[in-house]
Amino acid sequence: MDALTPATDAPQPVFVLALPKTYTSVFGGMLGQHPGIMGTPELNMFVGETVHDWAYQPANDVLFNVFRDGLLRTLSQLQFGAQTVQTVQAAEQWLVDRQNWPIRDVFEHLRALSAPKILLDQSPIYTMKPAYILRILDAYPDAKFIHLVRNPTGWVKSMLGWQRIGPVLLDMYAQEEQGLSRKPDPVEIWHATHEGIAGLLSQLPDDQWIRVQGETVITDTVPAMRRVVEFLGLSMGPAETEEMMHPENSVFAGWGPPGARGGNNPDFLSDPRLKLKTVDQLPGLLKIQTDAMNVPPEALTFARELGYQ
């Protein structure tokens, strides 16, 4: 089938670059409630060049095709008007009919369907390989990026405690590390991934990217989110603030229909309401727990550069 005309009138998209378990679901859910932003589940689209590449990405082999759910739910809602068994089947057939399309053409279609809202893609899998981020930059050199970070020791504890999903994802990230004669520790994965993201973003104009500590999103919430919203060129008055405090109101909050149940962290899908902490708890969340695990000196230095203590 012929590719679609690019969504030239749609605003440039925004991509969240973050490891899994870095508050991406709640952060994306909150941003997506802003009336100027189209928040989506994890689209996981730029892992390959074509729709076929998306459908058969390696992550689906080890986690039962869950990396397909976000795009299926998004297409069901935006293209077919609802998320039901029937619209999921229609979305899947729509993609099958376009399996040889460049993935950017499908993303352009989503941008057109989202306009005039900004399309937000918050897929952690993009941080697994630099090639994925470079593919995004090639497709959208003027896009905006949010580098979402988390305390390395807090992140490791969260990943290791994430039932069987966390260890599987850690193994996948470990397999992508080059130049080591051994399997990297989770802290080393955290360091290598975020340092790579920082290196890529440092080559962009300052007004094209922003770094956000995830811990501030759940503690000093309104100032943290206002900083992001203003970076995107939008306003955040009382009405917008109230909407963003209720990610559970999103059409993508909660579990999807059979055929596309997931699309986000299962914990978030089970209960998408905000679970905020107080600003008094922020210093503890920013403290690197070197007594709980070994943090190599170079990782410790980098974490402190990101504002952790």
Q: What is the pLDDT along the chain (309 residues), one digit of tens a residue?
A: 555 555 667 999 999 999 999 999 999 999 999 999 999 999 999 999 999 999 998 887 777 678 999 999 999 999 999 999 999 999 999 999 999 999 999 999 999 999 999 999 999 999 999 999 999 999 999 999 999 999 999 999 999 999 889 999 999 999 887 666 678 999 999 999 999 999 999 999 999 999 999 999 999 999 999 999 999 999 999 999 999 999 999 999 999 999 999 999 999 999 999 999 999 999 999 999 999 999 999 999 999 999 999
AA identity, residue 97:
D
Name the token pair of 149.
Answer: 């970070």
Whole-number pLDDT of residue 6? 59
CA distances from 242 to 8, 17, 245 (A): 31, 25, 5
User: Could you give the CA distance from residue 144 to residue 75 in angstroms, rounded to a whole number?
Assistant: 23
Distance CA 227, CA 198 (A): 19
Nearest to 74 by CA among 39, 47, 104, 24: 39
Helix (H) or strand (E) holding 238: helix 238-244
* CB proximity list for 39: less than 8 A, separation 6 or greater: 28, 29, 31, 32, 33, 120, 122, 250, 252
Distance separating alpha carbons of residues 258 and 132, to the nearest angstrom: 29
pLDDT at 176: 85
Please state whether the peptide bond connecting residue 247 to the residue before it is cis, i.e. omega within 30 degrees of 0: no
Nearest to 122, CA basis, from 45, 197, 65:
45
H or E stretch including 277?
Answer: none
Angle between helices 24-32 and 221-231 in degrees, nearest 10 = 70
Cβ-Cβ contacts under 8 Å for 98 (sequence gap 6 or more):
1, 51, 105, 106
Give which of 298, 285, 260 is closest to 70, Cα–Cα: 260
The pLDDT value recorded for residue 2 is 53
Q: What type of residue sits at position 258?
A: P
Tokens (6 digits) for 123: 């897929």
Predicted TM-score of the model (pTM) = 0.95
pLDDT score, position 58: 81
